[in-house]
Amino acid sequence: MSRVLAIGLFVFAVYCIYQGFFNYGFWENNTPGGGFLPAIGGMILAISSLSVIIVNNSKHIPITKNVILAILASILMVFLIEYLGMILILALFMILWLKMVENYSIMRSVMYGGATTLVIFLVFKVVLNVPLPEGILGI
């Protein structure tokens, strides 16, 4: 099962590398572009997943429901960022994860998810002035 997961992660890593180089721009005007971190992260993930695929490890770590859910939710999140925007997707992901997986109350989920998203927005958008994908709603 771990090899199947590693193959899926490798495919996802190739997608991240492709997006980083060709859609977001890896290097622009002598500085890292918007695709720099996705491409580097994709390369690290590709190398890591390839090592799991190639190395025959007899000790298997069980894959739980939460691990599979986290991977699928993360992949869905990456695909929806360009449609709904980074800030909205992060807020939705955090709130839904806290409610559905961690079994927090809806009030606590919204409070923690909203606060975390607000901090991310303030740091990246306001302080660092990093352009984040806005999606169709312009958020």
Give me the residue spans of the domains in the chain: 1-59, 64-139
DSSP 102: S
pLDDT value at 61 more than 80: no
Q: Which percentage of the chain shows pLDDT scores above 90?
A: 37
With contact defined as beta carbons under 8 Å apart, do 49 and 6 qualify?
A: yes
Query: Is the Cβ–Cβ distance between 120 and 90 less than 8 Å?
Result: yes
DSSP state of 101: T
Tokens 């997943």, residue located: 49
Tokens representing 13 are 């890593």
Confidence of residue 16 (pLDDT cuts 50, 70, 90): very high
**Average pLDDT rounded to a whole number, residues 89-95:** 93
**CB-count burial class (<10 Å; 0-12, 13-18, 19+) for 71:** middle
